């Protein structure tokens, strides 16, 4: 089984944790993003060339999940 690590970022409703698998050639597989506030998660399966890009994308996914939670509460 490949080594996977957990990373985290964001704050409040957009706080997130992510499961990441380091690959060869300094690339990273973003396996899953979990929004801490809502408890929702999304399987991603994308490869990034930098950890910075991966974290920015994970933040966007978490914000999207938080936005869906807010819209659902308004309906």
pLDDT of residue 23: 95
pLDDT of residue 74: 47
Nearest of 59, 60, 48, 61 to residue 8 by alpha carbon: 59
pLDDT of residue 3: 78
The model's pTM: 0.82
pLDDT of residue 15: 92
Q: How many domains does the chain have?
A: 1
Residue 60 vs residue 73, higher pLDDT: 60
Structure-block tokens of residue 5: 């690590």
Residue 69 vs residue 52, higher pLDDT: 52
Q: Which domain holds residue 18?
A: 5-74
CA torsion sign for 57, 58, 62, 68 is positive
């Amino acid at each position: 089984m490949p080594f996977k690590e957990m990373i985290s970022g964001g704050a409040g409703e957009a706080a997130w944790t992510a499961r990441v698998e380091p690959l060869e050639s300094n690339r990273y597989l973003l396996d899953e993003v979990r929004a801490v506030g809502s408890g929702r998660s999304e399987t991603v399966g994308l490869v990034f060339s930098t950890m910075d890009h991966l974290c920015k994308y994970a933040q966007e996914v978490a914000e999207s999940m938080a936005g869906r939670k807010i819209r659902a509460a308004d309906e």
